Structure 1
Amino acid sequence: MRLSEEEVKALETYRFSSEAADVSSSMLFAWLVHDDEQLAKYVAHVRDEMGAANDAVAASMLVKRLSFLAPMALYAMSAWNKRLVLEPGRIWLDTDGEGETWMPRFRLAPPEAEMCGIERSGWREQAVRDVFAGLFAPLIARLRRLTRISPLILWENVAIYVYWVYERWLEDESLAPVADRLRDDFRFLVHEADGRLFGQKDNPLRRFFKGASGMQRTTCCLYVQTKGGTCCQTCPLKARQRQTG
């Protein structure tokens, strides 16, 4: 089914776009996970746009920006009981570079979703698999080979957004009618989901979780190594500085 205008508006919070962009830097997600040459070019583009020190830093910034795809899909799943159709060949990354640090918008062609049927458990597993095993696992694997960056940094980039948005959603009074489902989905994602749903041996969301409001990172995202970049509030480097005075 097609997304409603109201749903499209809600997903714009997570950088969803329903309008085709007339920009030369648009990239199909499938090219990033199936074409090493295209991925290398896009990493170089991000490196130049953000003034990253090297390709590994650019890879981390790329995954941080693309991590908005996870909250976008999980919001649809938990708030509306809808599974966005997120095949790599349907997701366009559009950037215009105007007025902000490099940040893509996500255009689905076409924007469609599947309503949950009677049996939600298996449906939810598929929704999670589509996002993490279908999109992030192959991208992270290729970025690791291309830039030698630790996949732990890239997976924590994704995980930190998941923790953050569920905490915010549970504080949102407008989502109070679905609060129980939000809690159940978050518990499943972090504590119950099998690593295979993430294309991994172990669940990466479980690995980095430090409890309620525990946003302190284990790894540095490397933003400090970009032009004008600083240590994030959750950076382990900043935490060490506080400890050492």
Structure 2
Amino acid sequence: MFKQDNKHELLTDEWEVLAAFGLKFYQQDEPLAIDSSKLLDDVLCFETLQKIMPELGAPNLKVTASLVIKRVAFLTLAPVLYAMSSFDKGLDASIENSVFEYPLENRIWQSKMPLKDTSVSVWKSSDKESREVWRNEILGKVFAGHLTLLVEKFYHLTKVSRRVLWENIAVRVFSIYEQRILTNIAEEKRVIAEADYAYLLDKTSTQLFGLEENPLTVFYRDKQLTALSENPVRVRCTCCFYYQATEPPVYCGSCPLPLKKANSSLKK
């Protein structure tokens, strides 16, 4: 747990940055919201996914669960990882401290990430070892203490593949660091941010996830030019089923399905 004497408030400019990623103050009685911890209850989780399914345009709960974990992963990880690597601030995104919002408009998420306690721990030391302990606590809360729990619950309730769910999360980790943190961070903090990213992808960082293997590592592959891309992309191993919730079908830029079709056409 974060030590009480190590709790601080985010600065105004830090709040502005993290609010753009969805972080918000918790307010009770928000419509279309549920304490994230209640999603660990089979009945409440099933009911919530059923409510979201028609709003997403998803054909079944398996597709719904995949698209929900994509949204939850971004809303939890973007503020936490950015605050940790850019500001040396630690947010508590454990499932007990989080609220899952699910408003949609025209099948587009309008949700944010309310935290019941938005205070942060601050790393000020130059001691590398103490930062690793501090970092483990932050990452353990958001992964083993939140996302891993939801992956297991969604898998057991809907039978959506764990592999699909974890690649959805992995893609968010990659984009948050490569497109948001490392492109905006002050040069003097770049080494630390790159080390944080590498640590998340390290095969030995299993304790962060509460699993025997790091579920992100297998999805980190070299980017490549494809028949459908102008710039190099990291082609997914699995499909997230997004196309099943769109009319006409729309595929993610790194989806393997249209690439397979394009390659098949080239071979004919």
| Residues 21 and 224 (structure 1), Cα distance of their counterparts in 2 relative to 1, 3 Å cut | farther
Partner of 2:121: 114
Q: Post-superposition shift, 1:18?
A: 2.6
Q: Distance in 2 between matches of 1:19 and 1:28?
A: 10
Whole-angstrom distance in 1 between the partners of 2:58 and 2:105: 18
Aligned equivalent of 1:50: 56
1:226 alignment counterpart? 245
Specify whether residues 21 and 242 from structure 1 end up closer, same or farther in structure 2 by C-alpha distance, changes over 3 A only: farther
Q: Deviations over 1:142-194 (max 9, x none)?
A: 1110001101100111100111121122222x532311111111111112552
TM norm structure 2: 0.84
Give aligned-pair identity as a percent. Answer: 27
Q: 1:153 to 1:93 in 2, by over 3 A?
A: same
Find the aligned partners of 2:134 and 2:59 in 1 and give their Cα distance.
42
| TM-score scaled by length of structure 1 | 0.92
Q: Does the CA contact (< 8 Å) of 1:160 and 1:215 recur in 2?
A: no
Aligned to 1:209: 220
Pair 227,58 (structure 1): closer, same or farther in 2 beyond 3 Å: same
Question: Matched residue of 1:49: which SS?
Answer: helix
Q: Which piece of structure 1 moves more, 24-33 or 225-234?
A: 225-234
Counterpart-to-counterpart distance in 2, 1:85 and 1:163: 21
- Structure 1 stretches of 5 or more lacking a match? none
Note the C-alpha offset of 1:80.
1.0
**Deviation per CA, 1:49-102, whole angstroms, max 9, x where unpaired?**
111010000000110100111122111110111110223222122344346613
Flag the 1:110–1:126 CA change in 2: closer, same or farther, 3 A.
closer
Q: Which amino acid aligns with 2:148?
A: A
Superposition pairs of residues 113-152 of structure 1, within 5 angstroms: 113-116=120-123, 118=125, 119-152=130-163
Other-structure match for 2:46: 40
Unaligned runs of 5+ in 2: 1-7, 224-231
Assess if the C-alpha contact under 8 Å between 1:52 and 1:225 holds in 2: yes
**If you compute each CA radius of gyration, which structure gives the higher value, 1 or 2?**
2
The residue that corresponds to 2:183 in the other structure is 171
Compared CA separation, residues 192 and 115, structure 1 to 2 (3 A): farther
Q: Secondary structure, in 3 states, of the residue corresponding to 1:67?
A: helix
Q: Is the 8 A contact 2:57 2:107 kept in 1?
A: no
CA RMSD of aligned residues (A): 1.9
